[in-house]
Structure 1
Amino acid sequence: MGATEYDEKKETCGTVCLKYLLFTFNFLFWLAGGVVMAVGIWTLVEKSDYISLLSSATYAASAYILILAGAIVMVTGVLGCCATFKEQRRLLRVYFVLLLCIFLLEILAGVLAYIYYQQLNEELKQNLRETMVQKYRQPEQEHVTKAVDKLQQEFKCCGSNSSSDWGESVWIRTNEADGRLVPDSCCKTQTLGCGHRDHPSNIYKVEGGCITKLENFILDHLKIIGAVGVGIACVQIVGMVFTCCLYRSLKAEPY
């Protein structure tokens, strides 16, 4: 066997190996895109009520970026498979650019999550109490009312810092409250009118109030968003390396 023939055979074997490695990567990448989208959609749909209690849109923006990145990942995975088996350098270039764009999107989501992590505590201290006191049960604020009731029941808390915050509520001071001291959603066993008693045996009196509970909840979600972003980004680096190797192994042919 001549040297030229040996080199061509070696190059062909290397190309085939790269093709199958890249195909496997793209399949896993496509599945990962579904996971990224699921995390983003879950954050927005299942926990969308709590987003209305935040003055900043950074938390929601991180989730939207994840959904966008996940959708592009799934499309890119399919394109990557086509580019791999058709061995077209143009498709491989497009595929590489898409991988790079997704990588940058995930870095952006991670940066937003980190920035929001830094300002979260201060934002909650400044805005959650005011939102609950001023907007609860007010006209055109049904989304806030729903979010507050859900927050207090799910996290077993009452008031922003403590149950005494409700003493300054606009709603509590109206006739509509019917003499309640706290909303019914503060009660351990929620029944109509149970908010007339604010004794610890009847309502949730948690140290730190709902601020602490909501902060921990959002921080946990930010960690999930960050972990998913970093994980996919690391996988993408491998994919970009494989793509470059396959691109270089293919002969520049007219297409």
Structure 2
Amino acid sequence: MVAAEIGVGIAAAVLKEDVKTSFVSVVRNSVSEYSKNPDIQNLFDKIQTEFKCCGSESSIDYTSTGQSVPSSCTDSDTGLAYQEGCSNKIIAFFEKYLIAVVVAAFAFAILQILSIVFTVCIIRAIKSGDTE
């Protein structure tokens, strides 16, 4: 289990750019389905409102697919569409908290290793006590 956690951590670090590229692609494809799928529409409305972003790269993602720019893409004060796409905003959000997650995972792995070491020590102590 500890080895698997370490392996996943290493894979995540090595494949970081591939994951980003895949994520941007998924977001772009989802934006093209915005007007056709109510679940995607609800999700993107929440994301665009929360992150103050529009589309995957920009509002052009909507207009280039024949859709109108949703109201969740616009600043309620100015009425203008947000300029920054949601892909970059979401990636930046996860990168901001990535270090905390990595540190927590590393600490958890160390606790697991220490638990294994202490368990082995206890088992050996019990076995040596039985033979005396």
Q: For 1:51-66, list aligned pairs within 5 A.
A: none
* Counterparts of 1:116 and 1:150, CA distance in 2: 28
| Residue 251 of structure 1: aligned partner | 127
User: Does structure 1 residue 149 correspond to structure 2 residue 45?
Assistant: yes
* Counterparts of 1:142 and 1:109, CA distance in 2: 34
| Residue 22 of structure 2: aligned partner | 123
Name the larger-Rg structure: 1
Q: Offset at 1:247?
A: 1.6
| Residue 86 of structure 2: aligned partner | 210
> Contact between 2:75 and 2:82, CA under 8 Å: does it hold in 1?
no
| Residue 110 of structure 2: aligned partner | 234
User: Does structure 1 residue 137 correspond to structure 2 residue 35?
Assistant: yes
> Contact between 1:113 and 1:226, CA under 8 Å: does it hold in 2?
no
| Residue 184 of structure 1: aligned partner | 71
* Counterparts of 1:122 and 1:244, CA distance in 2: 44
Q: Offset at 1:164?
A: 2.1
* Counterparts of 2:64 and 2:89, CA distance in 1: 21
> Contact between 1:157 and 1:186, CA under 8 Å: does it hold in 2?
yes
Q: Offset at 1:158?
A: 1.3
Residue aligned with 1:251, SS: helix
Question: Percent of aligned pairs with the same residue?
Answer: 29
| Residue 163 of structure 1: aligned partner | 59
For residue 3 of structure 2, the aligned residue among 104, 113, 119 is: 104
Q: Offset at 1:106?
A: 2.5
Extract unaligned runs of 5+ from structure 2.
Answer: none
* Counterparts of 1:227 and 1:142, CA distance in 2: 38
TM-score of the superposed pair, with normalisation by structure 1 = 0.44
Figure out how many residues of one structure are paired with residues of the other and give that number. Answer: 130
* Counterparts of 1:231 and 1:221, CA distance in 2: 16
What is the identity, as a one-letter code, of the residue corresponding to 1:161?
E
* Counterparts of 1:161 and 1:234, CA distance in 2: 40
> Contact between 1:124 and 1:211, CA under 8 Å: does it hold in 2?
yes
TM-score of the superposed pair, with normalisation by structure 2 = 0.78
Q: Offset at 1:122?
A: 1.4
> Contact between 2:27 and 2:87, CA under 8 Å: does it hold in 1?
yes
Extract unaligned runs of 5+ from structure 1.
Answer: 1-100, 173-180, 191-200
For the aligned residue pairs, the C-alpha RMSD in angstroms reads: 2.6
Deviations 1:26-49 (A, max 9, x none): xxxxxxxxxxxxxxxxxxxxxxxx
